[in-house]
Amino acid sequence: MGRRGPLPDPPDVYELKTGKQRYESTPKPPPVMPSPPVGLSTPARREWRRLLKELEPTGLLSRLDRDVLTRYSENLVIRARLHRQLEEEGLTVEGYRGSIIKHPAWQLYRDVTALLGKDGDRLGLSPTARLRMHIAPHVDEDDPILAPLTKPRE
């Protein structure tokens, strides 16, 4: 014959929740915010901190979002650099045999902007992404334009 399995836990270990206890949830510990990676450039680190300050109240960020936030911060800096270059040099340049062609940085600018859009959606930075994530928009109570929209009707 086989051996007997482990003994069951004593009954006082199990706690039966009744009435209001059933509906009360234990508060979740606050998520551990990701720290910026070591190799992040100084302007990207500034963007990282700015984004973290904005996204922290939503409660959606965790350490798992570190790569997306890193890529988004770096791409913001790259896009700003490309924008300055296009402002200085113009949208067109002289090409082969003197023909006018679009600036090669323009395609890079468009590609980085597309990546920012995708990563921004992943982080909940667009209104549509926030609706999909069921995040209530943060409204400043002192804002004279939006404050009447947040007050309940009497």
- What is the pLDDT, as a whole number, of residue 154? 53
- Contact (CB, 8 A) for 66 and 38: no
**Measured distance CA(65)–CA(122) in Å, rounded:** 9
pLDDT tens, residue order, the chain (154 aa): 567 767 666 655 556 666 666 666 666 666 667 788 889 999 999 999 999 888 887 777 778 888 999 999 999 999 999 999 999 999 999 988 889 999 999 999 999 999 999 999 998 888 888 778 766 555 566 666 656 555 555 5
DSSP state of 33: P
- Contact (CB, 8 A) for 52 and 124: no
User: For the chain, how many residues are written?
Assistant: 154
Residues forming a β-bridge with 102: 92
- What is the pLDDT, as a whole number, of residue 130? 77
